[in-house]
Amino acid sequence: LISSAFYKSLALKDVPGPLITRFTKIPLLYQTINLNRTRYIHELHRKYGPLVRLAPNEISLNHPPSVGPIYNYEKTHFYNAFEAYGAKNMFSTPDRARHSSRRKLLGGEYTKAYMLRPENLTVINDRVRQMLKNISEINHVDVFYLFNYMAQDVISGFFFGDQNGSHLLQGHDIEVFDAWHMRRETFHWFAELPKLTNFLYSSGIASLLPSWRDAAAAEQFINDMTHKWMDRCDPEKSHLLTKLLKSDLSREQISAEVMDHMGAGHETTGTTLTFMVDHLSKNPEQQTKLHEELKNVDLDDFAAVDKLPYLHGVVLETLRLYSSIPASEPRIVPASGVTLLDRFIPASTVISAQPYSMHRQEEYFERNLEFVPERWNEPTASAKTAWMAFGKGTRGCIGQNIAMVTIKVAISHLYKTYETSKPTVLPASENMDFKDYYMITPVNDTCSVVFRKVEHGEKC
Ligand code: HEM
């Protein structure tokens, strides 16, 4: 074992990076657990170039043309942290055949055509209308909560059937949202140091730490909630859950799948909308362009909304500069090894790329750090190669259609009805930098926005 680790470490000796990374993973672990992994890796790329060494057996790649094929490699044990009820789900399963059969089982329901069926669009439209109602009752809103509640209500309504999911926007079951957040406190520990973390829990040591105790209680709460939602469903009606119930999967496997889609389905969309509205509230000239574009569009005609170029650009730019998953998505180099940027990378090396760095490359995005929706009117081939907010390859995001449709429906209704700005005095807790839990949230989970009604296209 030692000689194999030594050989691998030696085989990566030409990959640039801090000297210490040849011997230990500790600096990477330290940055990860302190919620700074993505920024740390980004700085390493700025210093050492497109291929950097992160640990004795781990490298990061920031070279768009080489990234595509890597995302068809097998996933690492990092994804075990997404398991639930001791069972693997689509996201966590490394095995190709099992993954592909799970993906086939649910893929049809996540296509855009399926999404746009009237009964599914109704789920989204109803939640967006409820969200507008909530805004109309109070004009100064914490949009972080608002958008996360809305996204959770959409994905659970879609998965369990229109009325069977959560109704957080109406004030029901909102404890589940706090639970999702508490649970994240231990995420990196489970992902990076699973044996140690399990030992700390099984020995009772973890219960001495309030945040770890809360995280375990939150996990239990979410498990119970998932079952409550599942049991509310009518198995005779057709939606995603019934498809799973009719398959040969065990109850644990189904629950693990459900839980993952509920988590992945709300935090990502909620965060994207939060950063988008925060950005537009600070950039009134871009907001005005959106108002102008929306003025004469019939919002009941989603095909027309979907084609709006400025709206589309705003969404893609948000996903570029404020990716809700900006972090590295690790894969394992296969038995044949791979040659990257003239260096041979041996089998079993952990390799990843991170959207955060890919999306900030000057050679691929002109004015790389500026928010330029117009760049997506006629995107360059290089911009398309470097953009990876939904991942790449066979494991790319299965939920991207529901995410894009939800975001576009929500933003078009919001900006047809309201103009937004930041409050003159920001709450002391607001900080729109991000906390890096693999998925991100604003520091302190809060984002204040003031809404003012626009009547018939005129601001009042
Ligand atoms: C803005 C919204 C979203 C973003 C940015 C996003 C991002 C991603 C990314 C980057 C991956 C690939 C991870 C990897 O390669 O390791 C992924 C996979 C996945 N996403 Fe999303 N996602 C979003 C919304 C959703 C929604 C709404 C769902 C609903 C169920 C969802 C469910 C999943 C699942 C199940 C996978 C695993 C796919 C597989 O392994 O085949 N995501 N997502």
Query: Alpha-carbon distance 377 to 380, whole Å?
Result: 9
**pLDDT at residue 457 greater than cutoff 60:** no
Tell me the pLDDT tens digit for each residue of 253-292: 999 999 999 999 999 999 999 999 999 999 999 999 999 9
> What mean pLDDT do residues 294-310 have?
96
Tokens, residue 95: 């095995």
User: What's the CA-to-centroid distance between 264 and ligand 1, angstroms?
Assistant: 6
Tell me the pLDDT tens digit for each residue of 128-145: 999 999 999 888 899 999
Tell me the pLDDT tens digit for each residue of 15-25: 999 999 999 99
Tell me the pLDDT tens digit for each residue of 213-233: 988 888 888 888 888 888 888
**pLDDT at residue 181 greater than cutoff 90:** no
* Residue 228: count of CB within 10 angstroms of its CB: 12
pLDDT value at residue 363: 96
**pLDDT at residue 451 greater than cutoff 60:** yes
**pLDDT at residue 456 greater than cutoff 80:** no
**pLDDT at residue 194 greater than cutoff 80:** yes
**pLDDT at residue 314 greater than cutoff 70:** yes
Phi then psi dihedrals of residue 194, to 5 deg = -60, -40
* Residue 330: count of CB within 10 angstroms of its CB: 20
SS3 content of the chain, % helix, strand, coil (to 5): 55, 10, 30
Q: Residues of the chain with pLDDT > 70: what percent? A: 97
- For a pocket test of ligand 1, which of 92, 180, 268 has the largest count of ligand atoms closer than 8 A to its C-beta? 268
Domain that holds residue 135: 2-459
Q: What is the CATH number of the domain that holds 175?
A: 1.10.630.10
**pLDDT at residue 10 greater than cutoff 80:** no
Structural domain total, the chain: 1
pLDDT value at residue 345: 96
Mean pLDDT rounded to a whole number for the chain: 93
**pLDDT at residue 242 greater than cutoff 90:** no
> What mean pLDDT do residues 39-56 have?
98
Predicted confidence band at 6 (pLDDT cuts at 50, 70, 90)? Answer: low
**pLDDT at residue 334 greater than cutoff 80:** yes
* Sign of the CA dihedral running 88, 92, 97, 100: positive
Ligand 1 environment, Cβ below 6 A: 90-91, 103, 155, 260-261, 264-265, 268-269, 272, 324-325, 329, 389-391, 395-399, 402-403
Q: Where are the alpha helices (DSSP H) in 12-116?
A: 26-33, 37-48, 64-70, 96-107, 112-115
- For a pocket test of ligand 1, which of 397, 401, 407 has the largest count of ligand atoms closer than 8 A to its C-beta? 397
> What mean pLDDT do residues 394-403 have?
96
Query: Alpha-carbon distance 451 to 294, whole Å?
Result: 17
Tokens, residue 128: 């967006």
